[in-house]
Amino acid sequence: MIDTNALQKYSLFGGVLPEQIERIKPLFSYARYDAGDMPMREGDPNDKIFFIVGGRVSVSKQGITIAELGEGETFGEMELIDVMPSIATITALEPLEVVTISNRALYEISKVDIKTFSLLVMNLARDLSRRLRRMDELACRE
């Protein structure tokens, strides 16, 4: 089940009203994974963003763990926008519950509610900008 209130804690939904989320919620998907499952594999196609609503994952690139993410965090943002293969492998560290929005669903949102679509895209751009800044800072430390 997808809880509207739970989704509001994600930065992607910043400024999006509960009634706007309710209107587009039918376009979302829900999935569960067992510990050890890989919802995303480096190099495989992916066209969706994942919102972790329960559990933890590790993020690895070329077999090296680069991050751990938990409830309230997201992955798959880059592939949602650039429609390129997954840049990393995501492995569930424990039972995992996610809500996803596919590229196609994002397009449908643009047809259903352009204001909500605009907020989502602006929030997505902000999130990606924050990650890029963080990566720049890490690169300059080394």
pLDDT tens for each residue of 32-89: 999 999 999 999 999 999 999 999 999 999 999 988 999 988 899 888 788 789 999 9
H runs (alpha helix) in the chain: 4-7, 18-24, 77-82, 103-112, 114-141
Spell out the residues 6+ positions from residue 96 whose beta carbon is closer than 8 angstroms to its own. Answer: 32, 33, 34, 35, 37, 39, 52, 54, 55, 56, 57
Query: Does the pLDDT of residue 1 top 70, yes or no?
Result: no
For 4-102+111-132, CATH gives: 2.60.120.10
Annotated domain spans of the chain: 4-102+111-132
Query: Does the pLDDT of residue 106 top 80, yes or no?
Result: yes
SS (H, E, C) 87-118: CCEEEECCCEEEEEEEHHHHHHHHHHCHHHHH
pTM: 0.86
